[in-house]
Amino acid sequence: MEMTVNKTLVENLKGAIRDVPDFPSEGIIFKDITTLLKQGERFKEVIDLFAARYGPGGPVPGVEAIVAIEARGFILGGALAVALGVGFVPVRKQGKLPAQATRMTYELEYGRDTIEMHQDALSAGQKVVLLDDVIATGGTAEATVRLIQGVGAEVLETAFLIELGFLPGRSKLEALGQSVFSILKYD
């Protein structure tokens, strides 16, 4: 399921992302994608890359829905779902969805968090791609994979605009047997 991305395009996309030092806490360099999103051409290039991968003729065929994680994942996931003509499923923090939801609680570095998805959002056997903006430590993505699998749907691949390769997110997902695709990697 390999797919190479043109090096010039990668550099253009990386150049459109702003680094914000010490956010959300001291010592962190936050990769702010809002500067990429405001550039229509760059935003379209990102969606086109994902669509080429998950659309007809791409290396990961048969996608029936895009599952995306709150909040920046919604921006990418919604646009990709429209481009592919498939459904969109939001995964939100606890208490944000209006109907009956299934939930998954997971450990953070300091504490716990809970995510939810509507109980009727996916059906058993449905083939989905999990999409988010960044894979870092992988806790939220791992919990989302477990949530999707818990309702019997199949995660074809986990996908991210940005991968922070110096953190354990990829290995955490691969330990679950998940394929991981990222457009931009920072080591």
Burial zone of 154 (CB within 10 Å; 0-12 exposed, 13-18 middle, 19+ buried) = middle
Rounded to the nearest angstrom, the gap between the alpha carbon of residue 122 and the centroid of all alpha carbons in its chain is 17
SS3 149: helix
92 given a catalytic annotation: no
pLDDT digits (tens, 9 = 90+) for 6-25: 899 999 999 999 999 999 88
- Mean pLDDT of the region 89-118: 93
Q: What is the pLDDT of residue 1?
A: 60
> Considering 2, 26, 109, 112, which one is annotated as catalytic?
109
Based on its alpha-carbon atoms, the radius of gyration of the chain, rounded to whole angstroms, reads: 16
**Residue recorded with tokens 């931009």:** 184
Catalytic site includes residue 109: yes
Pick the catalytic residue from 53, 72, 103, 170. Answer: 72
Residue 82: what pLDDT? 98
